[in-house]
Amino acid sequence: MPEPRAAIGARGYGLQRFHYVRAAAGHRRALHWLFMERVRVRANFTSFLCPGIHRKTSSVHFLLSSIGGLRNNAARQSELNSDSSSMKAPKTKDTATSRWLSYRPEIKVLDCTIRDGGLMNNHHFEDSIVKTVYDTCVAAGIDYMELGYKASRKGIKQGEHGCWKYCLEDDLRRIVGDNPTDLKLTVMADAERCDYHEDIPPKKESVVDMIRVATYINQIPTALDMVKDAHDKGYETTVNLMAVSTVPDRELDEGLEMLATSEAKAIYVVDSFGALYSEQVHFLVEKYLGYCRPKGKEVGVHMHNNMQLAYANTIEGIVKGANFLDATMAGLGRGAGNCPMELLLAFLHNPKYELRPVLDCVQNHIEPLRAKLLWGYDLPYLLTGMLNQHPRTAIRFKEAELKGVKGDVLEFYDTVTAEA
């Protein structure tokens, strides 16, 4: 995997080149170049968000039209100045459909608030919170909602974990009934932590639509068997390949080659430690697509926010072609949390998604939990993300605060860097 560049520089509009052009060819020519750079970036960005636009109107046609408009601009301005009382050009109403930004309809959004957020409270969410998130996903038009885990119940301590660690059918139906909605329900099953042959019933007996198998690179043989078992029972399936920031390229290639032959409909790039930079997201999504596209599979992204990059890296995944996107209400998730759902829906501009129900859920139901659950960006999470470490030490640091023990970030820094 390539190392991130220390300095990305001004890459959108090429400001350095702008100054060179201005010195060489004069102010007017420089402005012309800058205008054309803006047109080019806009056309390219529109292309990845909504490829269908360019099947009818190519970016070349768009550029040529813009050039024609530039050449005729002086003549038009002269005509307007010659008669100030003449008819003015009509103004286009500024609406979402009139703007250049569009959306990619293939994208699917998955809410994993209860599942990932459950890692901060041992899955002890009250039914009212789970029902609120469910109702919000339905009202917002979100495609999938993940309700929790399908974990083994062998040897468990009574009361140690809430019911969303196990997602028994009675518990699920207590919240969703028969789920008479378009929202699809999912649960996650960790490789080697789920008695999947017994714990996952046939699809016809369950309200769940999709099983997401989570696996580390060394557990892929087990994960493949889990995917086949769930698929044969009638479920949609995906694979979350965890802690990918720690996997050597050769092992990743071998793992993806095996996963690409599975029944899974999508394979996820999972930034478990919140350690990835944009260039690494580009590299990984392109690599995954190289294995997935020939097999008719999609690529997904699941990001953590240790370095405040979960939202940005989700966008980078979209840019490179990822169509399955994970997010949570207010970013609620393990440690530093995940990509916030409210940010993602605002970015996507897909009219099928409604932002207002999400804002209501965040303001009135999720944010009040923050003082107790302590998820979200903080310095200890930054440090574990920067060092590509599991956030367990940062979580312990934050949990001590709930007990009135104020930790020293500098001491924490010295400890984690010594272990790196």
CATH number of the domain within which 308 lies: 3.20.20.70
pLDDT tens-digit profile of 363-415? Answer: 999 999 998 998 999 999 999 999 999 999 999 999 998 888 989 999 999 99
Higher pLDDT residue, 23 or 258?
258
Q: Domain check: are 199 and 252 in the same one?
A: yes
The whole-number pLDDT of residue 323 equals 98
Using an 8 Å Cβ cutoff, are 307 and 385 in contact? Answer: yes
The whole-number pLDDT of residue 97 equals 52
Residue 412 is assigned to a structural domain of this protein: yes
Q: Say whether 396 sits in a helix, a strand or coil.
A: helix
Structural domain for 39, as ranges? 15-78
Residue 90 is assigned to a structural domain of this protein: no
For residue 376, count other CB atoms closer than 10 A to its CB.
18
Q: Model pTM?
A: 0.78
Q: What is the rounded distance in angstroms from the CA atom of residue 102 to the CA atom of residue 390?
A: 37
* Residue 152: pLDDT over 50: yes
Residue 283 is assigned to a structural domain of this protein: yes
Q: What is the rounded distance in angstroms from the CA atom of residue 55 to the CA atom of residue 41?
A: 18
Token pair for 99: 């703007």
Q: Domain check: are 324 and 214 in the same one?
A: yes
Mean pLDDT of 66-86: 40
Per-residue confidence band for 225, with pLDDT thresholds at 50, 70 and 90: very high
Q: Domain check: are 394 and 362 in the same one?
A: no
Residue 361 is assigned to a structural domain of this protein: yes
Q: What is the rounded distance in angstroms from the CA atom of residue 70 to the CA atom of residue 203?
A: 60
Residue 2 is assigned to a structural domain of this protein: no
- If one counts the domains in the chain, the total is 3
The whole-number pLDDT of residue 403 equals 85
Q: Domain check: are 216 and 159 in the same one?
A: yes
Q: Domain check: are 128 and 68 in the same one?
A: no
Q: Domain check: are 158 and 213 in the same one?
A: yes
Q: Domain check: are 204 and 351 in the same one?
A: yes
Describe the chain by its helix, strand, coil percentages, rounded to 5. 55, 10, 35
Return the minimum-mean-pLDDT range out of 59-68, 274-283, 303-312: 59-68
Mean pLDDT of 120-149: 98
Q: Domain check: are 47 and 152 in the same one?
A: no
Mean pLDDT of 76-98: 44
Token pair for 39: 């047109």
For residue 234, count other CB atoms closer than 10 A to its CB.
13
Residue 295 is assigned to a structural domain of this protein: yes
Mean pLDDT of 82-89: 40
- Say what percent of the chain tops pLDDT 70: 76
Distances in whole angstroms, Cα of residue 144 to Cα of each of 134, 140, 212: 10, 11, 11
Mean pLDDT, all residues of the chain: 84
Q: Domain check: are 329 and 389 in the same one?
A: no
Residue 10 is assigned to a structural domain of this protein: no
Q: Domain check: are 131 and 234 in the same one?
A: yes
Q: Domain check: are 349 and 385 in the same one?
A: no
Q: Domain check: are 307 and 365 in the same one?
A: yes
Q: 């919140």: which residue's tokens?
A: 274
